Structure 1
Amino acid sequence: MIGELVVFCGLDLIFWSCFGVCPRGQRTNFEKICEECSGCPELYDWLYLGFMAMLPLVLHWFFIEWFSGKKSSSALFQHITALFECTAAAIVTLLLNDPVGQLSIRSCEVKVLSDWYTMLYNPSPDYVTTLHCTQEAVFPLYTIVLIYYAFCLVFMMLLRPLLVKKIACGLGKTDRFRSIYAALYFFPILTVLQAVGGGLLCECHSFLFFNEHLKVFLVDISIILLSLRY
């Protein structure tokens, strides 16, 4: 009965605890035992991480152009600074992630969409007591994006105001900081998007990627058939 209901709860063999949440970086196997994730992200996972990492940079560039326009020659320097901020944030995030100090990722395999939303699958074996087994079953795809956004915000607040104050003299005092103010709005939106819709975005991204390859395959088949016909 428990084996059927407990989806993400497992037995920690290190501490021999009862069924409960697995430590970070682990998830349950078929025997409901917590085991360390030792795999590498798949292609779809890397594409998803790249997509989520590019969102802040694209938004930075958009708002820099939107508020700078042709009034200031500092837009190029702000673009380069935004690129440096996001690149530095990505490198620091990878170095701090497990394995620490390496530009690599140790990850758990994403099996189904529910792996992203473990908080919705806390079982009640006796219909009275709830086993709280909320964990990051898709380690580290869920938290690594949030950590990256946090570092992007920190680097932006450390570097961008000084740069804008020095070189954006062609704009007014309020206009020159509008791209920074815009980032203070879209970073919380991106955080909520990742926290709530990260799993849906990842699944949709994989589906769209597959469809693109399917289209290319169909085009190739059509070309071959046409060449054979003529």
Structure 2
Amino acid sequence: MSVVRTCPGLYCGRTQLDQEEWSECGACPRGFRTNASSHCEPCAAAPTLYDWQYLGFMVLLPLVLHWFFIDMCTIGKEKKSIIAQHICAFIEVASGTLGALMVLPPAGTVALHVCTPQALSDWYTLLHNPQPDYKEVLHCTQEAVYPLYTIILLIYAFSLLMTITLRPWLISMSAPNPGKKAIYCSLYFYPILVLIHTVAAGLIYYSFPYIVIIISMMTSASHFSVKIDQSAPALLMTSVTNTRNLVILIGHWLVHAYGIISLTGLVELWYLSLVPAPALFYILTAQFTDPMKIHND
């Protein structure tokens, strides 16, 4: 490889035109990223475990929102219809995710070729266009984290397409069409998720394990707080004997474990023993937080 002058800025690079000739400094083509020598190199690395966990988190967001709005919009309806809609929502998101993986290189497989993020700035190359000699700005905006940024947009687009294709057909089979409002909700939350991802993708990438752990603890506490009897035996019995409560509790534990593994990797697995801690802490201490037991002096 011939020696070429390095380019200004963090993300400006040169593309090799032939054996001895290089392009001017600029943005690398899609699927490439500049290296320390300002050469545009193809993204050929395999995703790390953390990368896959990030993608999993971004996929879980619409799935959980689907399930939440299905529950909210079908209160008092037939259980079979609600379960069918839950399964349909899972199929929608799973098929959208699979479709996005299949269309990205290497096409036709669920494998990915990525440029692993190295810094927060990799997600916001638009903010790092250099201005040599304080004259004209050299535009080098590119997807330095290819394809971790665009794949989320593809997943959401394909999942929404599957939602408006499959769900109306499903709910039309049962009268009086319970869950129709849940489809409308998805037409709102998908654009909101896209907007959040567009603006805060890098921040989410580095903070999602903490977000998962905090949200799982908060939702676990809110789930227990709606129970009328806040005594420890009652909370424990309803969590074990009621099927819906047991499913919700196990779901919280799985999400909490997901956050812990994302934070620690597969190195210190003993941290997983802390998964039941938030639920047990609430059950054991709820009786001491009853406002009716507070006496004014």
Is the alpha carbon distance of 1:67 and 1:140 closer, same or farther for their aligned partners in structure 2, counting shifts above 3 Å?
A: same
Distance 1:99 1:112, change over 3 A: same
Offset, 1:102: 1.0
Q: CA offsets, 1:106-156, max 9 Å, x none? A: 000211000000000011012111111110000110000000000001111
Partner of 1:225 in structure 2? none
SS at structure 2 position matched to 1:83: helix
Q: What is the TM-score when the length of structure 1 is the normalising length?
A: 0.86
Q: Does 1:55 align with 2:61?
A: yes
Structure 1 position 161, deviation (Å): 1.1
User: Cα deviations across residues 53-92 of structure 1 (Å, max 9, x unaligned)?
Assistant: 1111111011001000222341111111111111111111
1:64 and 1:72 map into 2 onto residues whose CA distance is 12
- Is residue 155 from structure 1 mapped to residue 162 from structure 2 by the alignment? yes
Match of 1:27, SS?
strand
CA distance in 2, matches of 1:78, 1:206: 29
Q: Which has the higher contact order (CA 8 A, sep 6+)?
A: 1
2:190 matches 1:187: yes
Mapping 1:87-166, distance limit 5 Å: 87-166=94-173
CA contact (8 A) 1:71 1:170 kept: no
Instruction: Check conservation: 1:44, 1:206, Cα contact below 8 A.
Output: no
Is 1:29 the counterpart of 2:35? The answer is yes
Q: Would you say the 8 A contact 2:27–2:139 is kept in 1?
A: yes
Unaligned stretches of 5+ residues in structure 2 = 211-258, 275-297
CA contact (8 A) 2:7 2:38 kept: no
Measured after TM superposition, the shift of residue 176 of structure 1 is 3.9
Counterpart CA distance in 2 for 1:3 and 1:122 is: 15
| Worse-matched range after superposition: 113-122 or 10-19 | 10-19
2:17 pairs with one of 14, 39, 57: 14
Instruction: Give the whole-Å Cα distance in 2 for the aligned partners of 1:40 and 1:206.
Output: 21
2:217 maps to 1:210: no
Match of 1:223 in 2: none
Aligned-partner Cα distance in 2 for 1:14–1:102 = 30
Q: Percent identity?
A: 43
**8 Å contact 1:10–1:28 — kept in the other structure?**
yes
Q: Aligned partners of 1:105, 1:62: CA distance in 2, in Å?
A: 31
Matched, 1:66 2:63: no
CA offsets 1:13-58 (integer angstroms, 9 cap, x no match): 1373210000111000110010101101111111100000111111
**Ranges in structure 1 where 5+ consecutive residues have no aligned partner:** 221-230
Task: Write the deviation string for residues 143-184 of structure 1: whole angstroms up to 9, x where unpaired.
Answer: 0000000000111111111211222x145xxx6421011001
Whether the aligned pair in 2 keeps the contact of 1:60 and 1:179 (CA below 8 Å) is: yes
CA separation in 1, counterparts of 2:264 and 2:48?
17
The secondary structure found in structure 1 opposite 2:132 is: coil
Number of residue pairs the alignment of both structures matches = 215
